[in-house]
Amino acid sequence: MRKERMVKITAALLVVILFASVFYVQPISTQEQGTFLKIGMQDEPKNTNIYKATDVWTANVLGWFYPTLFILSPIDRELSPDFAESMEGSPDGLTYTIKLKQNAKWDDGTPITAQDVIFSFDLVKELQLPDYLPYIDGIVDSWSAPDDYTVVLKLPQCTPKFKNSTLIGMVIVPKHQWSKVLDDARKGAEPLQIFLDTNLGADTPYGKLVSGGPFSWGEWQKGSFVRIVANTNYYGKGRVWTTKSGKTLTEGPNYDGILFKIYGTTDAAILGLQKGEIDYIWWTIDPGFIANLLADPNVEVTKADELGYYYLAMNHAKEPFNDKVLRQALATLVDKQFIASRVLQGYGGPAHSVVMPAAGKWYNDGVNKYGFGMAKADRVAKAKEMLKNAGYSWDADGNLLLKNGKKMAPFDILTPPADYDPLRAMSGVLIQEWWRAIGVPATAKPTSFGQIVASTFEQMTFDVYILGWRIGGNPYPDHMYDFFHSSQAVPDGNNPMSFKNPEFDKLVEDLTRNCDENAQMADAFKAQEIAIDEVAYCPLYYRSLNEAHRKDTFEGWFVQLGGVAGSINYLTPLKPAGAKPTGIPVAIALVGLAGAAAYLVRKRKD
Partner 1 sequence: MAMTKYLARRIIEILITLFIITTLIFILFRAMPGDPASLVLSPRMTPEIKQIIRERFGLDKPLYVQYLIYMRNLLHGQFGTSFYYNQDVWGILKQKLPPTLLLFGTGEILAYIIGIYLGRIIAWRRGSRLEYSATVFGIIFYTMPIFWFGLLAIWIFSYKLGWFPIGGFKSPEVWATAVNASVFVKIFDILKHLILPLSAFTLYIFAGNMLLMRNSMLETLREDYILTARAKGLPESVVRNRHAARNAMLPVVTAMALSVAAAFSGGVLTETVFSWQGLGSTLVEATLNYDYPLAQGAFILLAGLVLIAVLTADLLYVLLDPRIRY
Contact positions with partner 1 (CB under 8 A) in 270-289:
271-272, 274-275, 277
Considering the complex, state which of residue 90 and residue 128 has its C-beta at the smaller distance from partner 1.
Answer: 128
Stretch of 230-238, 246-254, 266-274, 325-333 lying at the interface with partner 1 (CB under 8 A): 266-274
- Residues in 168-227 that interact with partner 1 by CB under 8 A: 190, 192-193, 196-199, 218-219, 221-225, 227
Cα separation of 483 and 227, whole Å?
38
Cα separation of 585 and 79, whole Å?
52
Considering the complex, state which of residue 275 and residue 342 has its C-beta at the smaller distance from partner 1.
Answer: 275
Rule CB under 8 A: say whether 291 interacts with partner 1.
no
Rule CB under 8 A: say whether 493 interacts with partner 1.
yes
**22 and 244 in contact (C-beta within 8 Å)?**
no
Cα separation of 203 and 481, whole Å?
43
Cα separation of 258 and 6, whole Å?
50
Least distance (Å) from partner 1 to the CB of residue 138?
Answer: 11
Cα separation of 250 and 238, whole Å?
6
Rule CB under 8 A: say whether 267 interacts with partner 1.
yes
Find the binder of partner 1 among 384, 479, 500, 549 (CB under 8 A).
479
Q: How far is CA 112 from the centre of its chain?
A: 29
Stretch of 69-77, 118-126, 384-392, 482-490 lying at the interface with partner 1 (CB under 8 A): 482-490
Cα separation of 365 and 342, whole Å?
23
Least distance (Å) from partner 1 to the CB of residue 597?
Answer: 16
Considering the complex, state which of residue 397 and residue 606 has its C-beta at the smaller distance from partner 1.
Answer: 606
Find the binder of partner 1 among 91, 246, 297, 491 (CB under 8 A).
491
Cα separation of 349 and 160, whole Å?
29
- Residues in 527-546 that interact with partner 1 by CB under 8 A: none
Least distance (Å) from partner 1 to the CB of residue 264?
Answer: 4
Instruction: Tell which residue, 519, 455, 506, 457, has the closest CA to residue 480.
Output: 506
Find the binder of partner 1 among 9, 22, 409, 598 (CB under 8 A).
22
User: Secondary structure of the chain: what % helix, strand, coil (to 5)?
Assistant: 35, 20, 45
- Residues in 444-473 that interact with partner 1 by CB under 8 A: 448-451, 453-455, 457-458, 469, 471
Least distance (Å) from partner 1 to the CB of residue 86?
Answer: 28
Least distance (Å) from partner 1 to the CB of residue 131?
Answer: 7
- Residues in 122-161 that interact with partner 1 by CB under 8 A: 128, 130-131, 133-134
Considering the complex, state which of residue 396 and residue 588 has its C-beta at the smaller distance from partner 1.
Answer: 588
> Could you check whether the bond before residue 320 is cis, i.e. omega within 30 degrees of 0?
yes
Least distance (Å) from partner 1 to the CB of residue 489?
Answer: 11
Least distance (Å) from partner 1 to the CB of residue 207?
Answer: 16
Strand residues in 223-364 grouped as ranges (E): 225-230, 240-242, 248-250, 257-262, 280-281, 299-304, 309-314, 348-350
Find the binder of partner 1 among 25, 240, 579, 587 (CB under 8 A).
25
Sign of the C-alpha dihedral computed for residues 127, 128, 134 and 139 taken in this order: positive
Q: CA angle at residue 370 from 369 to 375, to 5 degrees?
A: 110
- Residues in 544-603 that interact with partner 1 by CB under 8 A: 583-585, 589
3-class SS at 481? helix
Give the burial class of 561: count Cβ atoms within 10 A of its Cβ; 0-12 exposed, 13-18 middle, 19 or more buried: buried
Least distance (Å) from partner 1 to the CB of residue 565?
Answer: 20
Instruction: Tell which residue, 89, 88, 70, has the closest CA to residue 80.
Output: 70
Identify residue 110 by its one-letter amino acid code: T
**228 and 217 in contact (C-beta within 8 Å)?**
yes
Rule CB under 8 A: say whether 509 interacts with partner 1.
no
Considering the complex, state which of residue 44 and residue 82 has its C-beta at the smaller distance from partner 1.
Answer: 44
Cα separation of 391 and 407, whole Å?
13
**562 and 545 in contact (C-beta within 8 Å)?**
yes
Rule CB under 8 A: say whether 297 interacts with partner 1.
no
Cα separation of 279 and 300, whole Å?
10
Least distance (Å) from partner 1 to the CB of residue 227?
Answer: 6
What is the radius of gyration, based on Cα positions, of the chain? 29
Least distance (Å) from partner 1 to the CB of residue 226?
Answer: 9
Rule CB under 8 A: say whether 369 interacts with partner 1.
no
Site string for partner 1, 43-62 (x = CB under 8 A): xx-xx-x--x-xx-------
Considering the complex, state which of residue 449 and residue 599 has its C-beta at the smaller distance from partner 1.
Answer: 449
How many chain residues are in contact with partner 1, going by CB under 8 A? 78
Q: How far is CA 320 from the centre of its chain?
A: 35
Helices (H), 390-539: 422-436, 449-453, 479-484, 502-511, 517-533
Rule CB under 8 A: say whether 111 interacts with partner 1.
no
Rule CB under 8 A: say whether 30 interacts with partner 1.
yes
Q: Are strands 464-469 and 411-415 parallel, antiparallel or unpaired?
A: parallel
Rule CB under 8 A: say whether 265 interacts with partner 1.
yes
Least distance (Å) from partner 1 to the CB of residue 25?
Answer: 5
Least distance (Å) from partner 1 to the CB of residue 332?
Answer: 28
Considering the complex, state which of residue 187 and residue 604 has its C-beta at the smaller distance from partner 1.
Answer: 604
